[in-house]
Amino acid sequence: MLLPRYVCLFFLVFTSFSTRSLIAQKETTLEVNIGIILDLVSPLGKMMQTSTLMGLEDFNATHHTIKIVPHIRNARNDTVLAASTGMSSMFNN
């Protein structure tokens, strides 16, 4: 009867330490902001947005210390607008 008490005590101590490590791990998450300018009018731009978001979702699910936050802007099939949007994003954020 002494063995189940030790098993319960070990389980409680183990869950306590694992919970603390998860809390500590959550506090040290580094957020990295990424600016993405795509032509969302074209089918290729829509596919690139979908694949990029899926890839970032997979990356964020496996890497718990770094979280990549995408900021997607629409170029609207205009290269000058895309360039100016990129420049304003760099200087304003």
What is the β-pairing status of strands 66-74 and 30-38? parallel
Q: Which domain holds residue 41?
A: 2-92
Q: What is the pLDDT along the chain (93 residues), one digit of tens a residue?
A: 444 443 343 444 444 444 444 555 556 889 998 888 888 999 998 999 999 999 999 999 998 899 999 988 888 888 887 788 777 777 776
Q: For residue 68, which phi and psi values (nearest 5 degrees)?
A: -90, 125
Please indicate, yes or no, whether the overall pTM of this predicted structure exceeds 0.85.
Answer: no
Number of domains in the chain: 1
Distances (CA, A) of 11 to 1, 4, 78: 16, 10, 61
